[in-house]
Amino acid sequence: MKVSALNRGGHGLYLEGSIYGIPCLFLVDTDTNITLLRADLVRKLTERLIYTAPNLTLKTATSKKAKIHGKLDASIECGSRKFQHRVYVADITDSCIRSLDFLQKFKFTINLEKNEIRTGSEKIFLFSGSTQYRKRTSDGKDVLSRRFCFEGCEP
């Protein structure tokens, strides 16, 4: 399976939400077919984790392999609504990735012109962001940073 990002000009689109009350900034990804949660965020949920075969991996958008640790039948909150959906726990960079299967199952629509996603009659703002951007150090050098940046960041 391939994990990549719905992106505009090198920046992903992100949606605020939570999984079992744990805040997540979901990367909206229309090119992957499973919803993912980064492994370090599942510490509080270990009793809910359904372990998978130890050799299960996925292929990221950069063609690297990421280990899948298990899965959860999770309560996912988005806007004012809650959804039950299977989430896989893996070694990924983003905290959470919202997949095409989730978007289709719950009839979400995405409006790229307005940077919003709709579920039922509710509209939710999408954030444009990048996990890698340039910043200037105190000595005047430009360096790449891996911190998360929203709007106005130089790629």
Residue partners of 86: CB distance under 8 A and separation at least 6:
34, 35, 71, 72, 73, 74
Question: Do the domain assignments include residue 151?
Answer: no
**Which residue range(s) make up the domain with 87?**
2-129
What CATH number corresponds to the domain at position 87?
2.40.70.10
Give per-residue pLDDT as tens, 110-150.
998 888 999 888 999 888 775 444 445 555 554 434 344 44
Asked if 62 contacts 134 with a C-beta cutoff of 8 angstroms, the reply is: no
Residue 44 and residue 23 in contact, taking contact as beta carbons nearer than 8 Å: no
pLDDT of residue 11: 62
Residue 141 located in a structural domain: no
pLDDT score, position 9? 39
pLDDT value at residue 106: 94
Q: 12 forms bridges with which residues in the sheet? A: 7, 129
pLDDT at 57: 85
User: What pLDDT, on a 0 to 100 scale, did the predictor assign at position 77?
Assistant: 93
Neighbours of 107 (CB within 10 A): 9
Is residue 143 assigned to a domain? no
DSSP symbols for 77-102: EETTEEEEEEEEEE--SSSEEEEHHH
Q: What is the pLDDT of residues 10-68, one digit of tens each?
A: 468 888 899 988 888 899 988 888 999 998 888 777 777 777 777 888 887 778 888 88
Q: How far apart are CA 21 and CA 28, in angstroms?
A: 19
State residue 103's pLDDT score: 93
Whether residue 138 is contained in a domain is answered as no
Distance CA 2, CA 31 (A): 7
Q: What is the pLDDT of residues 68-95, one digit of tens each?
A: 898 989 999 998 999 999 999 999 888 8
Cβ 30 vs Cβ 4: under 8 Å: no
Rounded to two decimals, the pTM is 0.73
Cβ pair 87, 36 in contact under 8 A:
yes
CB 61 within 8 A of CB 113: no
pLDDT at residue 154, rounded to an integer? 45
Q: Does a structural domain hold residue 93?
A: yes
Q: How many domains does the chain have?
A: 1
- Residue position matching structure tokens 């958008």: 61
